[in-house]
Amino acid sequence: MQHPYDVLAPEYATLLAAMLVDPGRKHKLTARAATVRELGERHRDEWAEVTAKTGVPRLWGLASFERESSSDYSRSPAQGDRWDRVSINVPRGLGPYQDWGDACIAAYGIDQLDNVGAPNWSWTRSCYEGELYNGFGPRAHGRRTGYLWSWTNIYTGGKYVADGKWDPDTQDQQCGMVPMMAALLRLECVAPAH
């Protein structure tokens, strides 16, 4: 593998220690995290089934699903297309599925997230799997991926604006997975789920 976890884990640890959320986005992040959490609570049983079958933590899943589908449960966690139809965006040709949970389980199998093993999901592993899930393309352009780091001091710009089309000047407007996971975790500490 071109980018093995063991090689990248120390880099992720350094970036996690240095990460600061953009002060101008803190309020928006907190508000969006509350919405993501609330939507996740409505689908708690589905998340429990996905986690039981794949070992992928709900925290990682919520943040990734927000990136892929803006937490719209009519959409696939693989790329944001409807799960009840055959997908047209990369990865193409997936589905249709019986329900959102089946689409999620299939999506996590594509990059073998289901093989990581529940006890192995650390913060560095979550970063690695998030970058792998979305692709190492920004890294090939010498940039940190917005998929993980947007809305933080780690992200300096650049984004794929369409499948295979890189724009070094585009700023990712979506919140990255890492600040979203941190915000969701803070919400769980303040207001535990029932």
State pLDDT tens for residues 155-168.
999 999 988 899 99
Running DSSP on this structure, what letter comes out for residue 23? G
Query: DSSP assignment, residue 160?
Result: E
Name the average pLDDT for the chain: 94
Q: What percent of the chain has pLDDT over 90?
A: 93
Give the C-alpha distances (Å, rounded to integers) separating 98 from 46, 94, 139: 13, 12, 35
Is it the case that residue 61 has pLDDT exceeding 50?
yes
| Full domain range(s) for residue 115 | 5-190
Model confidence, pTM: 0.94
pLDDT at 120 exceeding the cut of 50? yes
Asked if 61 and 104 count as a contact pair (C-beta separation under 8 A), the reply is: yes
Reduced to 3 states, what is the DSSP secondary structure of residue 101?
helix
AA letter at 134: N
pLDDT digits 0-9 by tens, 29-47: 999 999 999 999 999 999 9
Please, where are the H alpha helices in 43-154?
44-54, 58-69, 100-110, 123-134, 137-140, 146-149
Domain count, the chain: 1
Assess whether pLDDT exceeds 90 at residue 2. no
Nearest to 108 by CA among 45, 39, 56: 56
Tell me how far apart the alpha carbons of residues 55 and 48 are, in angstroms, rounded to a whole number.
10
Q: What angle is formed at CA 51 by the lines to CA 46 and CA 54, rounded to 5 degrees?
A: 120
**Which residues fall within 8 angstroms of residue 60, CB to CB, at 6 or more apart?**
121, 126, 129, 130, 177, 181
Instruction: Please answer whether residues 101 and 46 qualify as being in contact, where contact means their C-beta atoms are separated by less than 8 angstroms.
Output: yes
Question: Is the pLDDT confidence value at 192 over 60?
Answer: no
Q: What's residue 193's pLDDT?
A: 44
Is the Cβ–Cβ distance between 19 and 179 less than 8 Å? yes
d(CA 98, CA 96) in angstroms, rounded, equals 7
Share of the chain above pLDDT 70, in %: 96
Q: How far apart are CA 140 and CA 2, in angstroms?
A: 11
Residue 1: predicted pLDDT:
59
